[in-house]
Amino acid sequence: MDDDLVLNISTDDGFSGKGGAGKKGGRWTDRLKVKRGLKRKERAEEKPAPKPKPKAAPAPTPSAPSTSEEARVPSHRPRKRVRLDDSEAAPSAPTHSKAPQTSRTAQASSSQAPRPNQIISSLFTYNPKVDAPTQQVISKPVAPSNAPLDYSTFSGLGLNPLLVSHLTTKMSILKPTAIQRASLPTMLSTAPEKTARDIFIQSQTGSGKTLSYLLPIIQDLLPLSSLSYIDRSIGTLAVIIAPTRELAKQISDVLEALLKMRLRAEDDSTSQPDTSTQLTRWLVSGLLVGGATRTHEKARLRKGVPILVSTPGRLLDHLQNTSSFNVGKCRWLVLDESDQLMELGFEETIKGIMQGLDGRRRMAKQAVEEGTTNEVGGWDWERRRRTVLCSATIREDVQKLAGTALQNPLMIKATEVDKEGDLLPKPEPSIAAAATSETFTPPSQLSQKYVTVPLKLRLVALVALLRTLVAQVQSQQGAKIIVFLSCTDSVDFHWNLLAGASMEGGGDAEDEEASGEDDSDEEDLTGSKAKPALEKVESTCALLPNVNVFRLHGSLPNAARLAALKGFAGRKGKNAPAQDAASVLFCTSVAARGLDLPLVRAVIQYDLPTEGGVTEYVHRVGRTARAGKGGEAWSFIAPNEVDWVKWAETKMQGDAGNAKVTLHGVAVEDLLRSGFAGRGTEYEQRATDVQLAFERWVLQKKENAQLARSGFLSHMRAYATHPSNEKHIFHIRNLHMGHLAKAFALRDAPNAVKVPGGTKVHNPKGAVKVKAHRVSNKEKIDGAKEWERDHSGDAEKRMQAIVRAQGRLTKKGGVLASYSGASEFQISGGYDLEKLVGK
C-alpha cells in the first residue's frame, strides 16, 4: 500500500519528460536497488539496525549499494533517512490536546504504516543552515501614526453638522485623522481661489484618504438641493475613479453609507418641509465596473447618477459610446490609488477620460447657450472641474500623472499639519519637493516580523503560523488574516489544499454551494440580480477550526471576487460554524492596494512581492494596522533570501534622519512549536504528519495533482520576474526545486510539464524520470481553455517573456530549466488527516 503511494506518482500525475540522470527508468530501479541492498544488509547482520535519530543525518552505510541516485546526491549532503521498522515509522498520534483520535484514524494508521526499509525524506533534515534571528521581538508600545487625532474635531474643520452627526452616530467616526485634518479646511472651502486649485493628497495606508475627498464632495453638492430644478436628471456631478472593481465597490459602499445621512438635524421641528425626501431622491451614488451589461448601465446613467464610482476602462467606454451619459456639469474628478492606476497602465485611459469630460462639458454648455436643451438655466458654468489625486506614494509615475491631470495643484500631506493646534497656513510643498523627502513607511504601530523558512518547511510553517494567529485572534470576534501569494495558481492550490484537508481521510471538501452564489441577491448598477458566481471562494479547513477560508485573485469571475471580499469582510458565510468566525484570505497582490477590510489583524507575505519591491510590501502590510488599530505583518523568506531583511529596512527608512524601521526575526522552530504544540521536538512529528496528509491529498486525484503542479510552475514563473535589482536576493537559480516541490505537497519537482497553450517547463536537473501522463483530447481542450482564462493577463505574458529572456535559465524556445535534488523526497504513506488535526 505504501509502496503504491510512493510509486504511483507516475501513473496518472501528468509528470512527463526525461529523467534528470538521463537514464531510462533510473529512479525506479535506483529505488529498488536501494531496497534490495538494505534487505541484503539486514539479512547479513540478522539484527535490527539502530534507530536513526530524527535530526542527525545518519552516517553513510558502507554496504549501501552505489546507485545512480546516490551518485546524484552531492557528497556534502547527508544520506537519506531510512525507515527500518514499523513502530518507528508510524508517527505517534498527535498529543495536541484538541486532536481527536478516531477509530477510522487508527485503521488508517495501521493500514498506511510504512514498510520496513522504506526510504523517506524528513522535513527536518537536508535543510540549509539558518542562523538564529538576532532581533528579538520587543513589543514596545508605539504611538499610531494613522489614528484619529484627539485634539481636533470635524466641526472645527468646517464640516457640515449633518455630516458630523452622521459620522459620529452611524459610523463611529469621531475625530479626524491627520490627513483629514490637513485636507478638509482647503477642500471644504467655497472661496473661489481655493475651489480653483486641484489637490494631491498623499498619506500612509489606512489613514482615511477616502473620507478626505468624499466628505468635501458631499458637502459641496448638498446645497444644490435647495434649487427647485435639481433632481438626479441633472446628471453626474462627481466621478471617482479606482483602479480595480473591488476598490470601486468599496468606495461606493462608503459613499452609500454617507449618503444615508439624515438631512435635517434631529432637533429640527417638523414644521419645516421634509427636505430629506427631496435630497435622498436625487443625491445617489452609482457603480460602474465591468461585469454588468452595458444596456443596464446605460439605462441607469440615463436616469442620472449624481456621484459615480467607476473603474477607468468602463468609464471611458461610456464616455465614448453612451450619448445619454449626462456628465457635462461634472464638478469633481477623483483619481484614487493613483500609483496603482499608473502601474496598471491606465495613463492613456485617464487622458481619454479627461478629454471626454472636457468634450461633454463643452457640448453641454454650448447646448444651453444655444437653447437646444430642455435644461433650465442657473448653472454656474464658470466653476471649473476640480481634480483630486490620491496616492500613498509620490513615485515618478504618479508625479507624471499629476503633471497631466492636475492644474496648479496643492500638495496635502498628513505630516504637514500633525501638531496640536497647528492649523496656520504653511508654505506649500511642491509635489517634486515632497517626493524627494518621501519615504513610504508602514504605520508606526504595525509589528513587522519575518521568519526564515527552509523551502521544505514552508507549507507546514504556514499552517503553524495560521494556527498560532488564529488562536490569538479568536478571542476577537471576526478577526481576519490575509495571506499573499505570488500568483493565481498558487492561491488556487493552497485554498483547495486547505479546503480538501477538512475532509475525512484527507479527501476533498464537500461540494457545498459556493459562497459566491449567495451573492445572487446583490444588485448591480442596474438594480438587476447579479448572476450566480461560477467559482467557489469560501471554505473551511480542519486544520484551522472555526475559521472561514477565502480566496481572491484576478482570474475569478467578478461576482466571485466580490463575494470573496464580502464574505471575508464579515458577512456570515454558509460554512461559518459560528457567527463572527475568524477568516483567512488567500490572495494575490490584487488585494494589496486600498482595500479596507475591517478587523484584519495580520498580513502574511508567504511570497514577497515580485513586482513593486518595498512599496508593494508596504501596501500589502497596510491592509492591517488601519486608522490607529494594531496589526502584525509576517514575511516568509527562504534561507537564500536573508539579505532581503536589511534591504527592505533600509529602503523603508529612507533618509538617515527617519525613525528606524525594524523587522523582527522569529525562528522557524519557535513558529512550528507554537503552531503544532507538543513537548520538545514533538512538533516535528506533527508537522511531518500534516505534510504527509497534504501529499496524500495531492496524490488522491488527478485534479489535485494538477493544482499542485500548476501552483508550483506558476510560482516559479512569478519568482523569475523579480526585477534585476532584486536578483541578488531572489534568483531562481538559488531555489532548490525538489525542496520547493515539498511546499506544493509534491514529492518531486514537476518534470517537463507541458502546459496547454504553449509554455513548457523543462525537467528539473536530477529529477526522477516518471511515466508521462497521456493527455486526452478533452483534457487538452479543457486545459487550454483554463490556461487561457487564468493566464490571459498581461502579467502572465510578461512573466513568460521574462522567463524566455533569461538566457541562463532557458533552453530552446522559452523553456525554463530548473534544478532538483528530487530523489530524497520519497516518503512513506501517512495517516488519516483527522488524527493530525487539533479540534
Ligand X SMILES: Nc1ncnc2c1ncn2[C@@H]1O[C@H](COP(=O)(O)OP(=O)(O)OP(=O)(O)O)[C@@H](O)[C@H]1O
What is the binding site for ligand X (CB under 6 A)?
148, 173, 175-177, 180, 203, 205-211, 392, 594, 596, 622, 626-627
**Which is closer to ligand X, CB of 483 or CB of 755?**
483
Report the residue number, 159 or 661, with the smaller CB distance to ligand X: 159
Minimum CB distance to ligand X, residue 522 (Å): 21
Q: Tell me the DSSP string of 690-728.
A: HHHHHHHHHHH-HHHHHHHHHHHHHHHHHHHTS-GGGTT
Q: How far is the CB of 571 from ligand X (least distance, A)?
A: 16
Least distance CB 206 / ligand X (angstroms): 5
Q: Least distance to ligand X from the beta carbon of 209, Å?
A: 4
> Minimum Å distance from CB 565 to ligand X?
14
625/630 Cα distance (integer angstroms):
5
Measure Cα distances from 502 to 397, 496, 563, 676, 832 in Å: 46, 10, 22, 17, 11
Nearest distance in Å: CB 627, ligand X: 3
Q: Which residues pair with 449 in a beta bridge?
A: 634, 664
The smaller minimum CB distance to ligand X, of residues 177 and 452, is found at 177
Rounded Cα–Cα distance for residues 716 and 610 (Å): 11
Nearer to ligand X, 173 or 809 (CB): 173
* Closest CB to ligand X among residues 591, 737: 591
Chain centroid offset of residue 444 CA: 22
Pick the closer one to ligand X by CB: 26 or 148: 148
Question: What is the nearest approach in angstroms of ligand X to the Cβ of residue 625?
Answer: 10
- The overall longest dimension of the chain from CA atoms, in Å, is 108
Instruction: Output the smallest distance, CB 729 to ligand X, in A.
Output: 26
When the beta carbons of 148 and 821 are compared against ligand X, the nearer one is 148
Residue with cell 505583518: 633
Instruction: Find the shortest distance in angstroms from Cβ 174 to ligand X.
Output: 7
Cβ proximity to ligand X, 562 vs 645, nearer residue? 562
Please tell me the total number of residues recorded for the chain in this structure.
Answer: 839
> Measured from the CB atom, is 204 or 820 closer to ligand X?
204
Cβ proximity to ligand X, 177 vs 704, nearer residue: 177
DSSP three-state, residue 536: coil
DSSP 8-state symbol, 98: T
**CA geometry: angle at 337 spanning 493 and 323, to 5°?**
100
The CA distance from 334 to 694, in Å, is: 47
Residue with cell 440615463: 302
**Closer Cβ to ligand X, 80 or 209, answer by number:** 209
CB closer to ligand X, 205 vs 751: 205
Task: State CA 309 to chain mean position distance.
Answer: 23
User: What nine digits make up the cell of 405?
Assistant: 491631470
Strand order in the sheet with 544-552: 538-541, 544-552, 582-587, 480-484, 600-605, 631-637, 446-452, 664-666
Residue with cell 475627498: 213
Pick 127 or 153: Cβ nearer ligand X: 153
Q: How far apart are CA 312 and CA 320, in angstroms?
A: 12
Distance between CA atoms of residues 171 and 240, nearest Å: 21
Least CB distance from residue 254 to ligand X, whole Å?
A: 7
CB of 322 to ligand X, least distance (A): 29
Nearest distance from C-beta of residue 157 to ligand X, angstroms: 11
Backbone angles phi, psi at 123, to 5 degrees: -65, -25
- Give CA 215 to chain center in angstroms: 29
Report the alpha-carbon distance of residue 73 to residue 66 in Å, rounded: 11
**Nearer of residues 121 and 210 to ligand X, judged by Cβ:** 210
DSSP string of 468-490?
Answer: HHHHHHTTSTT-EEEEE-SSHHH
Nearer to ligand X (CB atom), residue 415 or residue 700: 415
Strand-pair category, 760-761 with 753-754 = antiparallel
Q: How many helices (H) and strands (E) does the chain have?
A: 30, 18
CB of 689 to ligand X, least distance (A): 39
Instruction: Give the DSSP H or E segment for 742.
Output: helix 737-743
Q: Which helix (H) or strand (E) holds 334?
A: strand 332-335
Q: How far is the CB of 747 from ligand X (least distance, A)?
A: 41
Q: Is 85 exposed, middle or buried (0-12, 13-18, 19+ CB in 10 A)?
A: middle
Kindly tell me which of 128 and 161 has the beta carbon lying closer to ligand X: 161
Contact (Cβ atoms closer than 8 angstroms) between residue 307 and residue 237: yes
Nearest CB to ligand X, comparing residues 517 and 632 = 632
537 and 515 in contact (C-beta within 8 Å)? yes
Q: Please work out, in degrees rounded to the nearest 5, the angle formed at the alpha carbon of residue 47 by the alpha carbons of 44 and 50.
A: 115
* Helix, strand, or coil (residue 104): helix
User: Smallest gap, in angstroms, from Cβ of residue 95 to ligand X?
Assistant: 42
Residue 205 and residue 763: Cα distance in Å, rounded? Answer: 43
Cell numbers for 452: 526564515
Helix axes 294-303, 312-321, angle to 10 degrees: 70
> Can you list the positions of beta strands (E) in 446-537?
446-452, 480-484
Range 186-194, long-range pairs (CB < 8 A, 24+ positions): 186/410, 186/412, 187/212, 187/213, 187/216, 187/388, 188/157, 188/158, 188/159, 188/215, 188/216, 188/219, 188/220, 189/158, 190/220
Q: Which three cell numbers stand for residue 39?
A: 534487505
- Cβ closer to ligand X: 99 or 211? 211
Q: HSE of 354 in the Cβ direction (CA atoms, 13 Å)? A: 19
The least CB distance from residue 203 to ligand X, in Å, is 6
Quote the least distance from Cβ 398 to ligand X, whole Å: 13
Contact criterion met (CB below 8 Å) for 99 and 835: yes
Q: How far is the CB of 621 from ligand X (least distance, A)?
A: 10
